[in-house]
Each structure stands twice: as structure tokens, then as C-alpha cells.
Structure 1
Amino acid sequence: MSVSVLIEQSVLDGITDRSKSNRPNEAGGLLLGYRKGNDLHVVDLTGPLPMDVASPVRFFRKDPRHQRDATRKWKGSRETLDWVGEWHSHPNGTPYPSSIDETTWRTQVRRRSVSMAYIISGANSHAVWLVDPLKLTVFPLCPIGADNSATLFELSHSS
């Protein structure tokens, strides 16, 4: 499987800022962007929002405004902007998915039948993961290039 995920710097900065401001609790939300074949371009995010439920070790996206914001932006893009993934923080740990994270991700991808990207913001770094819709495998993505506007991630060669 060949796939790349381009993430705008504004999204990565937004995740960092929102994760820090929500500490000691986790934070999270939707990732919005565009699909071209297997490739994703992440351009926007939601959350966290007031009705979400968060603790230092869990985040539950409960606020209906995530969906409303995504729908409004989808309509504003002439129905081209898509839900391409989710993000959340691990404020006291590393940016690796828990078994709960992986189960949730696989369920989302199984329901949608498309690849989805997932960003976890750890205490000091971000990690990006992709779930393949055919085998429901969770793959780590590696940054292969960056500039001031975006970072490009691809499957590691060992995946």
C-alpha cells in the first residue's frame, strides 16, 4: 500500500496549542481535509469543545459541534472537504496508541471503508498513524519532508 499524508503546519500547531491548554487532561477532535486516491491532505481540525469528556488518560468526543463544524465546512467547500481522521493528546506520555485507541480507529475505518489518519500529541512530540480499510491494520507513518507550511508523512519502509 502506497500512501502519503500531508499535514498543514497550522493543524500541527493547533494540536500542540490545544493539547497544552487542556493539560493535565487529554484533548482531541476531528481532522478535516481532502482525499486524492489513497493520499490525504489534512487542512483543519476541531476541538476540544466544552461538552467533550476528558481526563488525564481518556478523551471522549461528545460535543455535537464537532459534527456541525465539519458539516458546515464540508458544505462551504462544495462538498469536497472530508473527515479524514482524528487527533488526541497523551499529555503525560508518549504518542503511541493504546489498545482502546486502536479498537476505536478500526471501528471508524470499518464503518467508512476508507483510510483514516490519526495524530497523537505526546508530551514532547506528535506521531501519525494510518488505518488501512482492507485489513484494518494500524500503520505508523514517518515524516519524510517538511517546510514552514506542512509536513509530509509516509508509511515506513518496514510497514
Structure 2
Amino acid sequence: MYSIKELGLTLEIEDNLLSNIIDIGVQHYPNEFGGFLIGNYSDDQTHLSITNTILPNKFKGTPYLFERDTIGIENKLKQFYAEKPKKFYLGEWHTHPNNLPIPSGTDINAINSIANHNEVSIKNPIMLIIGYNKTKVEFGFYVQFKNKLYRYE
């Protein structure tokens, strides 16, 4: 379980899902790769459960850049929305090969764009960054909250 004490927020993700996401990202080494995070919030909106990921159908990855398209993603999101309990788009994940899981300027711009996009119904998107090299994997969960980026600990 991860938390941001000053905001009273908590986040959980199953170890096997996190391991799967890491494995998918590492398969694209030396390029960055990523996907969409799916899950749901508690009724009081303070606890987040990440339950699934959706991978992009079309993307471009380089060692320092990941760009994904949303072609075909809407239909996959609708399937999750139809489940009980409903699952929603929560944010995004991507890798930083040979680097730390610290948001770059591009990452900050991207999460701001998601938070302010008129077709996205989430006000506080989540970002997972996976930094890794040949000997170590680190990850950081972040949330955009009231125009500020916070890291879950």
C-alpha cells in the first residue's frame, strides 16, 4: 500500500500486476514504453485500486521518449466500465530505461494535459514511472492534485 499522508490518499496495486507491467516495459529496452492504468476509487475518493493495464495499439518509443496513440482504447475502456464494480481510466505508466523514476518535464506536461483535458473525466490522474537498469528496478507513483504533483510513498 502506498500513501500520501499530507493528502490522506492511499493507493494499492497487486504485486503480480506491478510485476507484469515491469516485465512488459523491460521487454522494450532500450526504448521507453508504457500504457494506461485502470481501476477504481473508494466511495470517498481517497483510496485508489489499480487493477489492470491497457497497452496502446500504436506507439513510438525511443530511449528518452514514449508517445502512445489512443486508437482502439475507447472500446477497451468501455468493457471495463461495464464490469461490476465499474473500472475507470486512472492514468498512465511508462518506463525510464537506464534512469530513475523521476518525472521529466515532458512527463509533467503530459500529466497536466491529461488533468486539464475536456474529454477526460478524471481530475487527479495517476502516473507510474518505472526506472531500471541491468541490476535494479525502481518505481514511483505520482498523482496530479490541485495542479501539483505528489509522490506516493
- Shorter-chain TM-score category? 0.7 to 0.9
Say if 1:26 and 1:90, in contact at 8 Å, map to a contact too.
Answer: yes
Shift of 1:68: 2.6
Pair 1:137 & 2:148 matched: yes
SS in 2 for 1:103: helix
Q: What TM-score results when the alignment is normalised by the length of structure 2?
A: 0.82
Shift of 1:93: 0.6
Number of corresponding residues: 138
Say if 2:101 and 2:130, in contact at 8 Å, map to a contact too.
Answer: yes
Equivalent residue number for residue 66 of structure 1:
73
* CA distance 1:22–1:66, change in 2 (3 Å): farther
1:87-106 → structure 2 map (5 Å cutoff): 87-106=93-112
The residue identity in structure 1 corresponding to 2:149 is V
- Tell me the C-alpha RMSD between the 2 structures: 1.6
Identity of aligned residues (%): 22
1:34-45 → structure 2 map (5 Å cutoff): 34-36=40-42, 37-45=45-53
The 2-side partners of 1:90 and 1:53 are apart by 14
The 1-side partners of 2:81 and 2:16 are apart by 19
The residue identity in structure 1 corresponding to 2:112 is R
| Structure 1: segments with no counterpart, 5+ residues | 143-159
The 2-side partners of 1:59 and 1:68 are apart by 22
Runs of 4+ deviating beyond 6 Å: none
Shift of 1:114: 2.1
Q: Which has the higher contact order (CA 8 A, sep 6+)?
A: 1
The 2-side partners of 1:110 and 1:96 are apart by 21
Q: What TM-score results when the alignment is normalised by the length of structure 1?
A: 0.79
Shift of 1:20: 1.1
Pair 1:127 & 2:140 matched: yes
